[in-house]
Chain A
Amino acid sequence: MEIIIEEISRDHKLISRHRINKDTIDIGRSYQNDIILPDPHICPDHLRLTFNGEHWLIEDQGSINGSYLEDGKTSVKHHIINSGDIFSVGKSLIRIVYTDHPIEETIRLSTFESLINIMRHPLVLTFSIVLFAFVSGYIFYLNKLTETTFSQFLAPAIGMTLIFAIWPAMVALASHFNKHEARIMAQLGISFVFFNLLWISDIIDNIINFNFSSNWPISDLYTLVPIGLAFCLFWLNSYIGFHMGARRRIIVAAGITVLFFGGSYLVQTTNKHEFSAWPNYNATIMTPSFMFLPSSDVDEFIFNSEKLFTKIKKVIAKEKKKEQEKSE
């Protein structure tokens, strides 16, 4: 009768698998055993499995440390094995399954897989990293108040790229520690593609802020775009790095997104409570070639500015009311 014996780790990850076609199987540390376990807490002849024609039985061979059904209190003796039972032997775990043990359904390869394959392709990966470095360098160049040479902004460009590479590297490391494949190239590939998408979304944000007047709530709505992009990145990170259910993956990705953006939002709102004597306005300007909308005229501008006075009167009246209530 064929049987399958798996050596597994404490968190039930497979270490090795043996398929044996015998009616008596010996397990122990000595070399005459069918399955040899190197764990020093296991006796030379530790355990025997026997098939009695109907059931498989497991029996401890009087070992020093005993053999237990997982979490069981007493050492096993003539115990009938059910498919999937896990036994602890010394400090090791073994799992026993029959050949007809049910298995999970096949997971269809997601379309993301082909996308990820494109992104981790060495050419694509190199391109996105170089693009990222170039944009970082260019931004450094734009902000520098003095004349800059090429080598001067090479260093910050490389520095920025290395800093941003920490994230995919950490995700890969984490999945490696969880006994998954690290897939560092795939992590780097998708991360840098998304970092570049965030640059692009930044440019679009600037164009919107530059063109639209403050009457349009569009720039507020647009803040959702980088949040959405970040969510997608985290989702793909966990898709590549960790095997988990679809719902759990969404929760994890959403959790990290909230942690990232919620934190900065929290800082912003706590700062808001402090009075600021300085105005907070949107001063985005871009070169004339980025202007798409027609200009307003002075009348329209004055009309819209007039509304601010009404708003402020309301704010002050509200505050006064609050103070009065407080003093009462």
Chain B
Amino acid sequence: MKGFITLALVIVSSLFSYISFAVEQAEEIFKQLAPSLYQIRLIDKASGEKSSIGSGFQISSNGIIATNYHVISGFANHPTKYRIEYLDHQGNKDELTLQSVDVINDLALVKRSTKVNMPFFKLTQQIPTKGQELFSLGNPHDLGMIVVPGTYNGLKKESFNDRIHFTGSVNSGMSGGPVVNIQNEVVGINVATSGNQIGFLVPHEKLVALYQSFKREPPGDIEQQMSEQLSQNQNKLINKLLNSQWESKQLENAIIPTIDVPYIRCWGDSNADKTDALFFAAVANCSLDENTYLSSTFFTGSIEMEFRYMQAKELSNNKFYRLYEQQIRRAGPNNKAGKEDVSEYKCHHDIVMPSNKEINNKSIFCTRGYKKFPQLFDVLFLSASIDKDKQALISHFTISGIEQSPALAFTRKFMESVAWK
């Protein structure tokens, strides 16, 4: 019996020491890294107050600090309205200058002035393994710097641009903060959260790439840099989509295309449960799960395709078409954009039969241009079949931030892939 108690004591005490070890570890990490951690704040020049906050961390001895693009996007869009400021662990404040951005991966490099060589975060050389313990650092809700332990859960499967799935709470204000492994090396940057302990990080290699290219040749003009990144990313994506297998799928009596890539995810719904509905409707909707943040009112990089099949139950043709017409009256963009970001839409409509002669559609193509990035457009396509009395197929897509020729190439392929069974 005595031996048993001793055993229990040993187990309890070792458990204790494990917990205290974890706490000590976090404390140790924080102590070592605190001098290189910053709160990044955007100060509205007119009022002198901060308008948004985030976190940042130093990655070079000469004062280069990494953060999220969305933390400083206000400055990137309106350099005269704001200035960027840091607040270090000792409460010192000073101005920062914007050096380089990566809008696709939501990264930015800013610089503080320093006369001495300062401590900085090392970027890791190796990719973590699943289940490995990581520590996220940042300043959530302006409450002061904190450490959040969590685990690495690999890359998010459905993303076109890689994101690390981190199990641990990443809160607003921690954006731009580093996530380190037990060796205090940066493996990712806090970027987003889906709530409930699901956080997303930008992998460290994106930051490495941005920093390397910055060291080689700093960008001359941030807007130009953004413009190139947007074009390049969207061209890469559209090329991938156009060169991927477009599989024909059946939606009731219609043939619709699906693109076999993991980052385009599809959902479906129908009104089969509504017995009093005047027509049967089934919807398939496929979209890219990510988009690119340009400002709080301007998002781009989204892709969405939607197909809606309708069949009249006991309806006259005229009434069916009237209700059908109401379904296509209002189609809108699926990215947020304001007056200062985009022009208004211009549209073309016609009755079009694809070369397979399998369907006859009223097709509408609309596009609007980006004011800051004149080679980029948002496009919206809507097509409604008009060759069957009691059946209808609406095929629709929107793509934001795309160049003219890929937009038209995608439209062509899309139009040719829709048919009746």
Chain A residues proximal to chain B, CB less than 8 Å: 141-143, 145-147, 210-211, 213-215, 275-289, 291, 293, 295-298, 300-302, 304-309, 311-313, 315-317, 319-320
Contact = CB atoms under 8 A, between A and B. Distances in A.
Nearest to A138: B318
Given A145-B278, A277-B338, A298-B416, 8 more contacts: A213-B349, A277-B333, A279-B331, A283-B364, A285-B321, A295-B353, A312-B377, A316-B343
Interface of B: 276, 278, 317-319, 321-326, 328-333, 337-339, 342-355, 360, 362-369, 371, 374, 377, 380, 382, 384, 386-389, 404, 408, 411-412, 415-416
A296 B351 contact: yes
Given A300-B350, A308-B347, A142 B318 contact: yes
B353 A297 contact: yes
B377 A309 contact: yes
A306 B408 contact: yes
Nearest to A147: B278
5 contacts: A146-B276, A278-B333, A282-B347, A302-B408, A316-B343
B369 A281 contact: no
Listed residue (A146, A210, A277, A297) with the most chain B CB atoms within 10 angstroms of its CB: A277
B415 A298 contact: yes
A159 B338 CA distance: 43
Contact of B345 (A279, A297, A304, A305): A279
Contacts of A316: 343, 369, 371, 374
A316 B345 CA distance: 12
A304 B350 contact: yes
Nearest to A275: B339
B319 A141 contact: yes
Given A141-B319, A275-B339, A305 B369 contact: no
B352 A295 contact: yes
Given A213-B350, A278-B332, A295-B352, A147 B276 contact: yes
A297 B355 contact: yes
A289 to B, nearest CB: 8
Nearest to B363: A301
9 cross-chain pairs, A with B, having the tightest CB-CB distances, nearest first: A279-B345, A213-B350, A275-B339, A279-B366, A295-B353, A281-B347, A312-B369, A142-B322, A305-B365
Contacts of A281: 331, 345, 347, 349, 364, 366, 382
Contacts of B317: 287, 289
A75 to B, nearest CB: 75
B365 A308 contact: yes
Given A284-B325, A301-B365, A293 B338 contact: no
A6 to B, nearest CB: 62
A288 B318 CA distance: 10
Given A142-B319, A316-B369, A276 B344 contact: yes
